[in-house]
Amino acid sequence: MPAAESYPDELKYHPEHDWARIDGGDATLGVTWFAQDALGELVHYEAPAVGSTVTKDESYGEVESVKAVSDIVAPLSGEVLELNQKAVDEPETVNDDPYGDGWLIRIRMSDPGEVDLLMDAAAYRAHVADQ
């Protein structure tokens, strides 16, 4: 069952439709409801390797639906600590629960100051409304 549209207040957002949940020096990353809805039911998640580094504003992986492929853009920089194997094995999890079970990677931030450059939920909702 695809999730209903939502943009949780406790998350930070990147304009390329990615979210970050900050937890001390770590962050969990994923794609927003808007991104998964635009792509449709996901059939593949090409994940980065644990231990690799991701760079803010650059692609760290890909998600694909039947019809389209999309880069996943890192909202923050850091080292990949963990990837969500459930999203690799069952990519539709991202459609079902984009902010919960459908998270994509967890990173150790290399520059926590980057958090201040992200949008809050209100700003992101306004950004989506413009699309």
| Interface residue list for other proteins (CB under 8 A) | 2, 40-41, 43-44, 46, 62, 64-67, 69, 88
* E strand map for the chain: 12-14, 18-23, 26-31, 42-46, 53-54, 59-65, 69-73, 78-83, 105-109
Q: Considering the complex, state which of residue 44 and residue 100 has its C-beta at the smaller distance from other proteins.
A: 44
Q: Considering the complex, state which of residue 58 and residue 62 has its C-beta at the smaller distance from other proteins.
A: 62
Tell me the closest approach of the beta carbon of residue 41 to other proteins, in angstroms. Answer: 5
Tell me the closest approach of the beta carbon of residue 45 to other proteins, in angstroms. Answer: 9
Beta strands across the sheet bearing 18-23: 12-14, 18-23, 26-31, 105-109, 78-83, 53-54
Tell me the closest approach of the beta carbon of residue 66 to other proteins, in angstroms. Answer: 4
Tell me the closest approach of the beta carbon of residue 96 to other proteins, in angstroms. Answer: 12
Q: Considering the complex, state which of residue 32 and residue 70 has its C-beta at the smaller distance from other proteins.
A: 70
| CA 24 – CA 87 distance, rounded (Å) | 24
Q: Considering the complex, state which of residue 20 and residue 102 has its C-beta at the smaller distance from other proteins.
A: 102
